[in-house]
Chain A
Amino acid sequence: MENAIEVIDLVTYYGDRKILKGISFSIPMGMTTVIVGGSGCGKTTTLKHLIGLLRPASGSIHIHGKDIAAMDNASLDEYRKKMGVLFQGAALLNSMTLAENVALPLREHTKLKGSVIDIIVRMKLDLVGLSGFGDFFPVQLSGGMKKRAGIARAMAMDPVIMYFDEPSAGLDPVTAAGLDELILKLHSVFKMTVVVVTHELPSIFKIADYVVMLDEGEVSFVGSLDEFKKSDKAIVRTFIERRAVEESISPDNYFKIITGT
């Protein structure tokens, strides 16, 4: 199994706080890998490193054999052209129509003529079920439609890797399921490597081939979806069975917290 991404001993801090504590894992090429874990486990921070938005304190991130953590900005920009990202809030530019949003990366990064770009934009909007919405502005769309438009823009440059940050966040279950179907469809046709950050169990079970689980900045599980489902690791069982975890605070610590000492 060839790997698209290899993360080796990745460490990062927000201020003095160590967020990723030397994590290592691989993401197989051409598969859908889901990065899971509870809120605050470091999954979005990991994603930000994979797309080159954050630089690690130490460690490396090899994508198709090249360490993006060691790249200069120009090389990083070239790498970013080959990947697409759906951000949590879709990150559409509100002052532009959907068509202009989708066209933006093509106008910025290619020398394609406007007439060709217009056709690509219509194809991408159709791909995500938004034919005829090109002249709409983001504020005129529902949450699910915004996400679809975000996918159309992320797909504009025909990426080889697609990243999705919490695609179901803020969506009703039916719309979220529709988005999962779309991710599956895009993956099966375009054979891309897909990386999805989520904590939604129905999404994980529907779209994942491979699962990376994080807990408090460390990797707690790596394996196929089947292995994930069958795992007897306590942390995995707690996550799958949606059991609450009690915070353990000693009386002394609690006193310090409420007195601010």
Chain B
Amino acid sequence: MKVETTVNSNYTVVAIAGEIDMYSSPQLRDTLLQLVKNKTATVIVNLKDVKYIDSSGIATFVEALKKMLSYKGKLKMAQVPDRLMEIFNFSKLDKVFEIFGKIEDAANS
């Protein structure tokens, strides 16, 4: 799994590629918690190149969102592949996260 963070003026994009599983999700957690620590107002997660996500990956996002809500931060998902969207829908996560088709839409919302 690769995680790349790009800081823009109003938001930060976390682009993830590969598989988010029980072994790699702690690395993603470190990245997200660092952004939480810095009280980053808006984090957009680009999931376009994610081939697989397991429960630990989803739980990592949920934990980050919970922490961000304490300072009214926003965690948004963008470019979610169909396969992941199916899991998001089934796990009712489509009601937990704000989900957008494009990064720009997430940034402008």
B22: contacting residue among A112, A119, A127, CB under 8 A: A112
A158 CA / B25 CA spacing, docked (Å): 14
The chain A residues found within 8 Å of chain B, CB to CB, are 106, 109-113, 115-117, 119-120, 123-124, 126-127, 156-158, 185, 189-190
A-B contact pairs, 26 of them (CB 8 A): A110-B23, A112-B22, A112-B25, A112-B26, A112-B59, A113-B26, A113-B29, A116-B56, A119-B59, A119-B62, A119-B63, A120-B55, A120-B59, A123-B59, A123-B62, A124-B55, A126-B91, A126-B92, A127-B91, A156-B55, A157-B22, A158-B22, A185-B90, A189-B86, A189-B87, A190-B87
Q: Would you give the 0/1 interface string for B81-99, flagging 1 where the beta carbon is closer than 8 Å to chain A?
A: 0000011001110000000
B58 within 8 A of partner (CB): yes
Contacts of B86 in A (CB 8 A): 189
A158 CA / B55 CA spacing, docked (Å): 7
Leading 5 A-B pairs by shortest Cβ distance: A119-B59, A158-B54, A189-B90, A120-B59, A110-B22
Q: Which residue of B lies closest to A116 (CB)?
A: B59
Find out whether the CB atom of A120 lies under 8 angstroms from the CB atom of B26.
no
Find out whether the CB atom of B55 lies under 8 angstroms from the CB atom of A115.
no
B60 within 8 A of partner (CB): yes
A157 CA / B23 CA spacing, docked (Å): 11
Residue of A115, A117, A127 with highest tally of chain B CB at under 10 A: A115
Distance in Å from the Cβ of B43 to the closest Cβ of chain A? 17
Distance in Å from the Cβ of A117 to the closest Cβ of chain B? 8
Find out whether the CB atom of A116 lies under 8 angstroms from the CB atom of B29.
yes
Distance in Å from the Cβ of A134 to the closest Cβ of chain B? 15
Q: Which residue of A lies closest to B92 (CB)?
A: A126
Contacts of A123 in B (CB 8 A): 55, 58-59, 62, 91
A190 CA / B21 CA spacing, docked (Å): 14
Contacts of B26 in A (CB 8 A): 111-113
A111 CA / B26 CA spacing, docked (Å): 8
For residues 50 through 90 of chain B, which have their beta carbon under 8 Å from a beta carbon of chain A?
Answer: 54-56, 58-60, 62-63, 86-87, 90
Distance in Å from the Cβ of B20 to the closest Cβ of chain A? 11
Find out whether the CB atom of B56 lies under 8 angstroms from the CB atom of A110.
yes
Distance in Å from the Cβ of B27 to the closest Cβ of chain A? 11
Inter-chain pairs besides A116-B59, A157-B22, 5 sampled, C-beta below 8 Å: A110-B56, A115-B63, A120-B55, A123-B55, A123-B58
B60: contacting residue among A116, A124, A127, A185, CB under 8 A: A116
A65 CA / B42 CA spacing, docked (Å): 45
Q: Which residue of A lies closest to B54 (CB)?
A: A158
Q: Which residue of B lies closest to A158 (CB)?
A: B54
A137 CA / B39 CA spacing, docked (Å): 39
A38 CA / B29 CA spacing, docked (Å): 50
Contacts of A189 in B (CB 8 A): 86-87, 90
A156 CA / B22 CA spacing, docked (Å): 11
Q: Would you give the 0/1 interface string for B1-30, flagging 1 where the beta carbon is closer than 8 Å to chain A?
A: 000000000000000000001110110010
